[in-house]
Amino acid sequence: MRRQVRVGGAAALLLGALAACASMPGTDDDGSTITLARLEGHDVTEGRYTSDLLEIAYDEITAQRLWDEQVTGDLPETSGAPSEPGRYGDLSDVDLDTHVLALWSSGASGSCPTWLAGITTTDFGVRVELDGAGGDGDMCTADDNPYRQVIAIPRDAAPDRAALPQPIVGVGVPGEHRVRAYGG
């Protein structure tokens, strides 16, 4: 079940309560993402905890660096909906002529995990689309478990690098940028 989300962290918890079924993110050129890996925790950026951050690697060298820095060799290979930590694909599966690699950092309920399933670039910023797995009886815990997701996004759905940084629509303090180039 896919849902458009205009807010981040706290809304992801609410989304988990609403999302009763899990599905694998699509691979169409409609802004859908391809999940390559899900990891627990966040990186600390600029001395603070970072939530609801999309970092995009636009070139092959930066994509390889993102992959090497985020995806460890001990990450188990897995398949299906990206609700648990694991490797769901490989960088070699991505055509970097048609896709960009990105790192999504967010948080989700422990009993109703969510993941980034798509993005839409608008005149006002980037809108994220989350998907999720509902809990028993659709009752989700209110905890916020930080996670990272390495994804491939169709190039034509990603914001133009020259337009970065940009806000994620409806998230954070006005003027706070949450979409940026990886490593920048």
* Per-residue H/E/C for 29-90: CCCECEEEEEEECCCEECCEECCCEEEEECCHHHHHHHHHHHCCCCCCECCCCCCCCEECCC
For the chain, which residues make up each domain, given as ranges? 2-181
pLDDT value at residue 12: 36
d(CA 34, CA 155): 12
pLDDT value at residue 31: 65
pLDDT value at residue 50: 53
pLDDT value at residue 24: 32
Check pLDDT > 50 for residue 125: yes
CB 87 within 8 A of CB 75: yes
Tell me the range of 64-78, 104-118, 119-133 where mean pLDDT is highest: 64-78
| Range scoring the smallest mean pLDDT among 33-42, 58-67, 141-150 | 141-150
Confidence of residue 25 (pLDDT cuts 50, 70, 90): very low
- Grouping H, G, I as helix, E, B as strand and the rest as coil, residue 105 is strand
* pLDDT tens-place string over residues 109-119: 888 888 999 98
Percent with pLDDT over 70 in the chain: 71
d(CA 3, CA 116): 10
Confidence of residue 87 (pLDDT cuts 50, 70, 90): very high
| Range scoring the smallest mean pLDDT among 2-11, 93-102, 111-120 | 2-11
Confidence of residue 45 (pLDDT cuts 50, 70, 90): low
* pLDDT tens-place string over residues 131-164: 887 655 567 888 878 899 999 999 999 999 999 9
d(CA 150, CA 26): 15
Check pLDDT > 90 for residue 5: no
